[in-house]
Structure 1
Amino acid sequence: MMDTGQSEPKWRRRAEDRPDEVLDASLKLFAQNGFAATKVEDIATEAGISKGAVYRYFSSKEEIFESLVKRAIAPIAERTEDLARTSHEDSAVLLKAVLTVAATKLSDPDTLALPRIVLQEASRFPELAQTYRRQVIDRAIGALELIIEKGIARGDFRPVNARLAVRNVIGPLLAHFLLGQTFGIDREASASPHSFIESHYDILMRGLMKPETGEPQ
C-alpha cells in the first residue's frame, strides 16, 4: 500500500498504545492549563478518543498524574535506590553519577513539568504532592542518604548529618532547572546540564570530602 505520509488515525491504533496517548495528552494540558482547569473531556479530545475510553484506562485525573510520575520519574528513583544498596563504586563517583542522571532527566521539560505542577497545585490537591513524595522524593532522599552514610563509613566523606546534607544535594539541582525553565534565567544552561553538574559537584565535594591529614575538619 502506498505511504501517503499521513499518520494513522488515533482510533485505529493499537489499544495498548492508548494509555500512553492519554498520558501524553494529559501532561500537555496539565502543563499548559493546570491540573484543576483540565477536564477529562479535554484530555479525551487531545488524545483523540472518547471520554469513556479515558476512564477505561484511568479512574481519575489523580490516577493519570500518578501514572505520569511512575512513567517519567519513578524509574530513576528506583534505579538510584538499587545503586545505593548494591554499588561498590567510590562514594563520590557514585554520587556524581546519580546527580548526572537526575540532571539529564530534569533538563527534559516534560519531566520538569511534573514537579512544577505539584508546586502550583499542592494547596488545592495535596494528594498530588503526596503521590510525588511517595513515588519520588522519599525514595530519592533515602537513596542519597544511604550513599552519603556509606561514604562516611568508608572514610570518603567527613561525618555530617546525612539527612540534612541531602537537602544541599537536591536543592541546588531543582533550583537550577526551575530558574531556567520557569523563569527563563540562563535557560540555555538548564537545557545543557553538564556544566552545572560539574560546578555543583565541585562545590558539594569540597563540603563532603574528608580533609587530608593536617587540614582543619
Structure 2
Amino acid sequence: MGEERDRRDQILEAAFEEFSAKGFRGATIKSIAEAAGLQSPALIYWYFPDKEALFREVLGSRIPVLRAVRDPARLLERPPEEVLPLIARRYLSTFDNPAAQRMARLLVGEAMRRPEIAEIFGNAVIKRMLGFLKSYMAHQVELGRLRPHDVRSSARAFIGMLLPQVGGKVFFPAIREDGLTDEEHLRNVVGIFLEGLRPERKQGWTP
C-alpha cells in the first residue's frame, strides 16, 4: 500500500513539473512517465484514467486553497473572520511557487486559445472555489453573521479582490512595487469585505 502511494505521489510530482513547464497541451503521458522514471507510460493509467484526470488531481493536490476546501463541512460553522483569511492566505500562497507561476502563465494562454482547457481548469479550480464560497456565505447568512445578499456576487467579489495581488506575482511585477504584502492585503480585503456585509442593526432605541 505504501509503495502504491509512493508511486502515485511520484507520478503527481512529475506531472506537476511537466504541466508547469509545458502546459496541458505540451505535457504528454509519455513525457510524464519519463520524468517519473517509469518503465512504461501505461503504468500511469493504473492510477489515472487519462491525462485530464491526472491534470485535475495535480491541481487539487498542488493548489493550497483547494486542499483547504476538500472538507467544507469543517469550515461552515466557523466565523468569517477566521475562514476568509484562511481561504485568502491559501489562495495567495499558491503563487509563491515558481513552478505554479509558470503553470498559471501557460494555462491562461492555453485557456484563451482552447475552450476545452478553459473548461477543465474552470471546473477543477474556479468552480470548486466559488462553489465553496457560495455555500459558506449562504450558511453565514443563515447564522446571522452576514446580512442577506446574493452570495453569487459575494463569492465572485471576494476572489476578485485578491486577483491584483496574484497578478503582481504572476504577470505584472509593477503592481507589487508599492510593497503591499500578502498579509497586509488579505487583512484589508477581509476588513472591507466584512464591513460591507455586516448584518444591519435594528432600528430603535437601545436601552
For the 8 Å contact 1:40–1:51, the answer to whether it is kept is: no
Shift of 1:170: 0.8
Show the counterpart of 1:82.
73
- Give the distance between the partners of 2:46 and 2:62, measured in 1 at CA: 21
Equivalent position to 2:80, from 91, 102, 117:
91
Equivalent position to 1:57, from 47, 53, 72:
47
Q: Does 1:100 align with 2:98?
A: no
- TM-score of the pair, normalised by structure 2: 0.73
Matches within 5 A, 1:103-122: 103-111=92-100, 116-122=105-111
For the 8 Å contact 2:21–2:103, the answer to whether it is kept is: no
Show the counterpart of 1:27.
16
Show the counterpart of 1:159.
148
For the 8 Å contact 1:22–1:54, the answer to whether it is kept is: yes
Equivalent position to 1:184, from 173, 179, 186:
173
- TM-score of the pair, normalised by structure 1: 0.71
Moved more, 192-201 or 159-168: 192-201
- Give the distance between the partners of 1:200 and 1:210, measured in 2 at CA: 18
Taking a change above 3 Å as real, the CA distance of residues 200 and 34 of structure 1, as seen in their structure-2 partners, is: same
Shift of 1:197: 1.0
- What is the aligned-residue RMSD (CA, Å)? 3.4
Deviations 1:96-141 (A, max 9, x none): 3333333334544455666555433235654444344334433322
- Give the distance between the partners of 2:19 and 2:100, measured in 1 at CA: 12
Instruction: Report the 3-state secondary structure (helix = DSSP H, G, I; strand = E; otherwise coil) of the residue aligned with 1:58.
Output: coil
Taking a change above 3 Å as real, the CA distance of residues 57 and 210 of structure 1, as seen in their structure-2 partners, is: closer
- Give the distance between the partners of 2:100 and 2:111, measured in 1 at CA: 17
Q: Does 1:173 align with 2:162?
A: yes
**How many residue pairs were aligned?**
198
Matches within 5 A, 1:136-155: 136-155=125-144
Taking a change above 3 Å as real, the CA distance of residues 209 and 23 of structure 1, as seen in their structure-2 partners, is: same
For the 8 Å contact 1:107–1:177, the answer to whether it is kept is: no
- Give the distance between the partners of 1:142 and 1:39, measured in 2 at CA: 30
- Give the distance between the partners of 2:121 and 2:87, measured in 1 at CA: 19
Shift of 1:194: 1.6
Instruction: Report the 3-state secondary structure (helix = DSSP H, G, I; strand = E; otherwise coil) of the residue aligned with 1:63.
Output: helix
